[in-house]
Amino acid sequence: MRKIGVFTSGGDSPGMNPCIRAVVRSGLHYGMQVVGIKHGYRGMIKGEFANMNARSVGNILQRGGTILKSSRSEEFRTVEGRKKAYENLKKHNIDGLVAIGGNGTFAGALALHQEYQIPVIGIPGTIDNDLHGTDFTLGFDTALDTVIDALDKIRDTADSHNRVFFVEVMGRDSGFIALISGLAGGAESILIPEMDDDVLNLIKTLNKALKRKKSSHIVMVAEGDEEGGAFQIADRVKREFRELDCRVVVLGHIQRGGSPSCNDRLLGTRLGVAAVEGLMRGEKNVMVGQIHNDVVYTPLTEAIKNSHKIDKNLFRLIDIMAK
């Protein structure tokens, strides 16, 4: 490994910049050249390559987003697009790649490896925490802090006006953000894709709350819930309880932004160094993650095929806490 490339792809997440910094500086530490590829696979196709040094990643540890920019590339999904990307990698004498992103990023990395045998190591960068092979993904911890801060503010106005707030959070098909932030933020009800009959349970909970004359209520809704988003679920509740004053808040992309937390900075640093050291040892076609505080390497095929499962023991805490 004399020259490696690093890029970010798909949705951005806090912690990507600390991870880029770690890849660049550890690569330089081990005597390699490090090339930053801008705008993900789109930049790989267009040849947006830039040599990086220690100063290239100075003062980025605390910044959200990604200095290498990100995008999604339809062209890379084609055989012709991947061929263009490979030719640019070959032109710049890239011996190995570090791909920071989520499921789609890893699918692209897997295709490159299968078609052109380029050694690739993936680093899980997504706020959704849905990737198999790691306890936490880059950005998840920061996203939780952002949601908790919003919940605390929403609680103030919910209590002041005796309202029911339906708060929709990201997560794609995973309920990690909704469940963990909902429990930590004191939400009375939580609706996630991994739970069955959650709207029926919500209606039961609201009935009990009305009998106790509870004046306000926060309902966390994961965007991938099978019953729909926060607006659809709020409409259904309004039909059942006409006396309730219901409001909807969709937190949206603010969950992706902001300065990365201490945990995300540390995780990004650790996984960035582990990716470089893995390439040096001959690891390829794997994702590097952290499980029980140990660095582990999981085949990309497994990371893509499987999903990170929620501990169902947490489900029972919802009912216990909803008083």
In whole angstroms, what is the distance from residue 178 CA to residue 183 CA? 8
Strands 294-299 and 286-291: antiparallel
- Name the amino acid, one letter, at 62: Q
The residue assigned the tokens 């309004």 is: 238
Cα 314 to Cα 18, 183, 239, 255, 321, distances in angstroms: 31, 9, 30, 22, 11
Catalytic residue among 12, 128, 141, 145: 128
128 is an active site residue: yes
Q: Check: CB of residue 12 under 8 Å from CB of residue 66.
A: yes
Give me 65's structure tokens: 């987003």
In whole angstroms, what is the distance from residue 323 CA to residue 317 CA? 11
In whole angstroms, what is the distance from residue 164 CA to residue 323 CA? 15
Burial class (CB within 10 angstroms; exposed 0-12, middle 13-18, buried 19+) of 229? middle
Annotated catalytic sites, by residue?
A: 128
